[in-house]
Chains A and B, each alone.
Chain A
Amino acid sequence: MYEVRFHGRGGQGAVTAANILAIAAVKQGFYSQSFPYFGVERRGAPVQAFTRIDDKRIDLRMNVYEPDAVVVLDPTLMSVIDVTQGLKEGGIIIINTAKKPEELGFSGYKVATVNATEIAIEHRLGSQAAPIVNTAILGAYSKAVGNVKIEHVLEAIRENAPAKKEENAKAAEAAYEKTVLGW
């Protein structure tokens, strides 16, 4: 079982990202499950969403407390919450930032970075002020974690992005290429 936690802000699409990853995992032949942290959702407030991936049916229904990977859609969250909380030792952190992994000062984890904001703006996803980075970050997930191949991620995006399907897929593809692995 592989467990992923997404950190974003309300409106950035963290929940959709978790869902699309689950769909992509099933395309690859896995079982999966995705769900939001069941809060009262407000635009801009920190939100969490989760994806479980396994090669057998997933019966577990509790929240994810010890993820194998965390995905951070908004780097400003890192000053508000501890995104590594419960993260397994040697777990993977994927962050939307212009910085390089070694500039972020994490130790004991594998860190991957990608400037998903820039990629989203280039692909006209959302606005300059509020770019939609959730599909780009999935490209980075595929590169960094590797358990769900990029072609399945792209297929899941094309089928499930609520709008601009092709632009979203292209953004994920670009992010896949540009992700910097700190290990």
Chain B
Amino acid sequence: MKAMIRGNESIAYAFKLARVQVVPAYPITPSTLVPEKISEFIANGEMKAEFVPVESEHSAISAAIGASARGVRVGTATASQGLALMHEVLFIASGMRLPIVMGIGNRALSAPINIWCDHQDSMSQRDTGWMQFYGENNQEGLDLGIMAFKIAEDKRVLLPAMVGLDAFVLTHTVEPVDMPEQSEVDDFLGEFKPNYVTLDPNKPATLGSFGFPEHYTEFRFAQWVAMEQAKKVIDEVFEEFEKKFGRKYRKVMPEHTEDADIIFVTMGSMSGTMREYIKKLRAQGKKVGMVKITVFRPFPKEELIEALQNAKVVAVVERNISMGFAGAVYGELAATFANKSKKPKFVDFIVGLGGRDITFNTLESVYKVAEKALTQDVDDVNWIDVNKEAVYKSEGLQ
């Protein structure tokens, strides 16, 4: 069945189809429609779940931990400052190995206040031990939302997962989505059974307790091992999903890379615009390709090496910036190739912050620098579509 839904609704439908049992949430632009839609499902009797209205995102994720520790399937959604407010608790969720799934409407962080798209919010939670998936469109939001539960709940993984959809560009865009049948999703996910020790008065246990220096590192290492294991589990789940639903997902999706001199690396909704732009360049005989990163945590090193090793220039196009260094994706990619004798030249492009539109003009500016990089040195980090003169002037650097 084709449904015409917004990105936020694709997350809400994923939760409904996954038969999520508890949804603690606090509304924030642009993901407010997720809890709104879920409240509607529950009120209409279409979804059997407990919606927990809380007073902040800090409480939302804390309640999610409580419910998940009790042994039920839990989902929530947030964005931007809301995700930032959750920060300290995100480590607790992953440290306690609770398979919570959270939808993110990827949005910029203040100041200045901005409600529009970039990836700064979830990229800033990179080290919290959560898996991270990024959707290109609403179909991917729905599919990744469903698959995230299966991956997170796998006994070999037991880690929470975020599914990011770009603020407004996806969260508020209506487009056709293939809606799977409830029975198909039931069959795919199976009945939820917690694969971990739960809070049960009949079987008392302590969860999230003190970890002395004698034990703490082992707990951290266990998370590392789980993240490594997740790489394999993600492949398995993607393949099973493809068999059942006919839609192909991979941790990284290479397109036109075989003979490409320049490969663009993208994440999220910009990937669609990039695909169209590459068609234009290919029509002009330019050897360009792209690699879309769908899974950012665990970072798919092996697949990225495979996809990028023969390129001359890798242009990392990203909607986040780690001030004082570079974009996060660039840093990780460069490190991935650090010990390889054969490696492309990596060039970083910071685009589309705070909802600045990523257009063909933006991508052309990126391409021009990448093309120059084929034959000469260019800056490591390139800010695109920025009024640099105005900034230099205001910072006293004429």
Whether the Cβ atoms of A22 and B272 lie closer than 8 Å is no
Whether the Cβ atoms of A61 and B115 lie closer than 8 Å is no
Q: Which of A23, A32, A34, A59 contacts B276 (CB 8 A)?
A: A59
Known: A26-B4, A35-B169, A40-B115. A63 touches B357 (CB 8 A): yes
Q: Tell me, yes or no, whether A129 is within 8 Å of chain B by CB.
A: no
- Please indicate the chain B residues that have their CB under 8 angstroms from the CB of A61 in the complex: 166, 169, 269-270, 272-273, 358
Select from chain A the residue with minimum beta-carbon distance to B270: A61
Known: A59-B273, A62-B273. A35 touches B358 (CB 8 A): no
Whether the Cβ atoms of A32 and B176 lie closer than 8 Å is yes
**A–B Cβ pairs within 8 angstroms, 19 of them:** A22-B174, A22-B175, A26-B4, A31-B176, A32-B175, A35-B168, A35-B172, A36-B168, A38-B167, A38-B169, A38-B355, A59-B137, A61-B166, A61-B269, A61-B270, A62-B358, A62-B359, A63-B357, A65-B359
Interface bin, chain A:
10 to 19
Contact bitstring A132-156, B, C-beta under 8 A = 1, else 0: 0000000000000000000000000
- Please indicate the chain B residues that have their CB under 8 angstroms from the CB of A35 in the complex: 168-169, 172-174
Q: Which of B137, B168, B172, B357 contacts A62 (CB 8 A)?
A: B357
Q: Tell me, yes or no, whether B238 is within 8 Å of chain A by CB.
A: no
Known: A38-B168, A40-B115, A61-B169. A33 touches B174 (CB 8 A): yes
Whether the Cβ atoms of B174 and A60 lie closer than 8 Å is no
Q: Which of B4, B269, B273 contacts A23 (CB 8 A)?
A: B4
Instruction: State A123–B291 Cα separation when bound (angstroms).
Output: 52
- Please indicate the chain B residues that have their CB under 8 angstroms from the CB of A34 in the complex: 173-175
Closest CB pairs A-B (n = 6): A59-B272, A38-B168, A35-B173, A61-B269, A62-B359, A33-B175
- Please indicate the chain B residues that have their CB under 8 angstroms from the CB of A65 in the complex: 359
Whether the Cβ atoms of B355 and A23 lie closer than 8 Å is no
6 more contacts with CB within 8 A, not counting A31-B175, A35-B169, are A33-B175, A40-B115, A59-B137, A61-B270, A61-B273, A63-B359
Contact bitstring B344-374, A, C-beta under 8 A = 1, else 0: 0000000000010111100000000000000
Question: Which residues 17-41 of A sit at the B interface, judged by CB distance below 8 A?
Answer: 19, 22-23, 26, 31-36, 38, 40
What's the tally of chain B residues with a CB closer than 8 Å to chain A?
Answer: 26
Determine which residue in B4, B137, B167 has the highest number of CB atoms from chain A within 10 A of its CB, and name it.
B4
Known: A35-B168, A61-B358. A19 touches B174 (CB 8 A): yes
- Please indicate the chain B residues that have their CB under 8 angstroms from the CB of A36 in the complex: 168, 172
Instruction: State A22–B166 Cα separation when bound (angstroms).
Output: 20
Instruction: State A61–B172 Cα separation when bound (angstroms).
Output: 12
- Please indicate the chain B residues that have their CB under 8 angstroms from the CB of A104 in the complex: none
Q: Tell me, yes or no, whether A130 is within 8 Å of chain B by CB.
A: no
User: Shortest CB–CB separation between residue A77 and chain B, in angstroms?
Assistant: 22
Select from chain B the residue with minimum beta-carbon distance to A52: B175
Whether the Cβ atoms of A58 and B358 lie closer than 8 Å is no
Instruction: State A82–B275 Cα separation when bound (angstroms).
Output: 31
Select from chain A the residue with minimum beta-carbon distance to B4: A23
- Please indicate the chain B residues that have their CB under 8 angstroms from the CB of A38 in the complex: 115-116, 167-169, 172, 355
Instruction: State A35–B206 Cα separation when bound (angstroms).
Output: 48
User: Shortest CB–CB separation between residue A31 and chain B, in angstroms?
Assistant: 6
- Please indicate the chain B residues that have their CB under 8 angstroms from the CB of A58 in the complex: 175, 272
Known: A35-B169, A59-B272. A22 touches B4 (CB 8 A): yes
Known: A40-B115, A60-B272, A62-B273. A26 touches B2 (CB 8 A): yes
Instruction: State A62–B357 Cα separation when bound (angstroms).
Output: 6
- Please indicate the chain B residues that have their CB under 8 angstroms from the CB of A62 in the complex: 273, 357-360
- Please indicate the chain A residues that have their CB under 8 angstroms from the CB of B358 in the complex: 61-62
- Please indicate the chain A residues that have their CB under 8 angstroms from the CB of B116 in the complex: 38
